[in-house]
Amino acid sequence: MSKRRTTPVEPEFAEPHMCSTGTRLQILGRVPFFTGLPAEAIERINERFQDRGYNAGEMIYLAGEEAVRLYVVATGKVKLLRHTADGQEIMLDILTPGEHFGSLAALGDAVYPDTAQAHTGVCALSISAEDFRAILEAYPATALRVLDITGARLRDAQERVRQLSAYTVEQRIAAALLKLGEKLGEPHEEGLLIQMPLSREDLAAMTGTTTETASRTLRRFQNDGLINAGRQWVAIADREQLERLAATEAV
């Protein structure tokens, strides 16, 4: 087996990342909770949105700041993080184009409960919480879509609670890889390649363990032929086996 070490992951455009490509109208039309709205509604909504580019690693907002905007990923990947008192990072979610983050509530004194960081170069659209609230009031179908998405995220988070409560590190890493593979996987000679830079540290922050343990676990997986991995990338070679290991009953 060829031991490829250089990343097969395609870079997410050049950075500094710009939002220029295409009109925001096109992007907004593809956001899950706006689909189905009449074109003129989207046009009116579009006027309320701003766009902005972020370089990889750049913070979009910090936990504790006043929660005033709602964001939608246009291009790139966004990490949602929480920190512990001693600075350790917990990755709550990784968001891809079309997904939203930030403030849903129109209340004035709320703060962001988490930190949003551009994981790759990112273009994000954003709107003030009040304006978004007004849209939800004007278009009930959109509100229900947002509710569905939020409900799905809640179930995901609860599933993670279960995993952290009852599963071993090995099972959690297997489950995390499978979920990433489902969300970001692309067929590749190395296997189902997870299309984003993914360090051992990232994986540790996702599964509640340490870089060292993540590294050791990936090595074991690789030795057993379950995955192929290198610096900042992982590809799933044997999905069935990995699923058996994770003991995941499907969603």
Partner DNA sequence: CGCTGCCTTGATCTTCTTCAAAACGTGTGG
Partner DNA sequence: CCACACGTTTTGAAGAAGATCAAGGCAGCG
Of 140, 187, 223, 240, the one binding a second copy (CB under 8 A) is: 140
Distance CA 130, CA 107 (A): 8
Residue type, 141: A
Nearer residue to a second copy within complex by CB, 195 or 209: 209
Most distant CA pair in the chain: distance in Å? 57
244 binds a second copy (CB under 8 A): no
| Stretch of residues binding a second copy (CB under 8 A), selected from 34-42, 69-77, 121-129, 156-164 | 156-164
Residue type, 185: G
Of 11, 26, 108, 157, the one binding a second copy (CB under 8 A) is: 157
Nearer residue to DNA within complex by CB, 7 or 128: 7
Nearer residue to DNA within complex by CB, 30 or 231: 231
CB of 224 to a second copy, least distance (A): 21
SS3 assignment, position 30 = helix
213 binds DNA (CB under 7 A): yes
Of 1, 2, 6, 38, the one binding DNA (CB under 7 A) is: 6
Distance CA 24, CA 191 (A): 34
Nearer residue to a second copy within complex by CB, 208 or 230: 208
Here the tokens at position 209 are 């363990």
| Stretch of residues binding DNA (CB under 7 A), selected from 38-46, 63-71, 120-128, 198-206 | 198-206
Residue type, 16: P
Residue type, 207: T
Q: Name the residue among 210, 114, 208 with its Cα closest to residue 164.
A: 208
Indicate which of DNA, a second copy, none lies near residue 219 (CB less than 5 to 8 Å, by partner kind).
DNA
24 binds a second copy (CB under 8 A): no
Got the DSSP string for 36-47?
TS-HHHHHHHHH
65 binds a second copy (CB under 8 A): no
Other C-beta atoms closer than 10 Å to the C-beta of 5 total 9
Nearer residue to a second copy within complex by CB, 156 or 238: 156
Of 30, 65, 225, 247, the one binding a second copy (CB under 8 A) is: 247
Sort residue 191 into left (φ over 0), alpha (ψ -120 to 50) or beta: left
Of 66, 147, 182, 186, the one binding a second copy (CB under 8 A) is: 147
Q: Name the residue among 241, 49, 20 with its Cα closest to residue 132.
A: 49
103 binds DNA (CB under 7 A): no
* Residues contacting 2, CB < 8 A, separation 6+: none
Q: Which of residues 150-169 bind DNA (CB under 7 A)?
A: 168-169
CB of 190 to DNA, least distance (A): 13
Distance of CA 248 to the CA centre of its chain: 20
219 binds DNA (CB under 7 A): yes
